[in-house]
Amino acid sequence: EVQLVESGGGLVQPGGPLRLSCAASGFIFANYWMSWVRQAPGKGLEWVASIKEDGRDKYYVDSVKGRFTISRDNTKNSLSLQMNSLRAEDTAVYYCARAGPAPGTRDYWGQGTLVTVSS
């Protein structure tokens, strides 16, 4: 059974850092693109970042470029999102998601971890 379990969310002050992790199991992690997608409270979905199977190619939404870094460890079946210089508008539930059957789709999602940026 495919499982994605996020961790690392919490309350952080504006300008502070936070690192999210996603533990993957039930599939060959190294064979899939992985992504982070977020959802602000009561709002819609926003794609944040994606990383290729081997970790060499990474893509980000403009609003997080230079502040967030997506990475993966295929030996540990783990996906991470290092978030620096956090802003109030980064407050959201962050989902880890696995690539689906077509380019850019995601067929398995974690339950999400809440990040709250507030003083």
The reply on whether position 114 binds another protein by CB under 8 A is no
Per CB under 8 A, the list member of 110, 113, 115, 117 interacting with another protein is 110
CA-CA-CA-CA torsion for 16, 65, 25, 30, nearest 10 degrees? -140
**Residues forming beta bridges with residue 20, ordered by sequence position:** 81
Six-digit token string for 89: 């508008």
Q: Measured from the CB atom, is 7 or 111 closer to another protein?
A: 111
CB neighbour list of residue 36: distance below 8 Å, 6 or more residues apart? 20, 22, 48, 49, 50, 70, 79, 81, 94, 95, 96, 97
The reply on whether position 104 binds another protein by CB under 8 A is yes
Q: Measured from the CB atom, is 50 or 80 closer to another protein?
A: 50
The structure tokens 């980000």 sit at: 60
The reply on whether position 66 binds another protein by CB under 8 A is no
Per CB under 8 A, the list member of 51, 60, 72, 113 interacting with another protein is 60
Kindly state the number of chain residues that form the binding site for another protein, as judged by CB under 8 A: 24
By CB under 8 A, name the binding residues for another protein: 37, 44-47, 50, 59-62, 95, 97, 100-107, 109-112
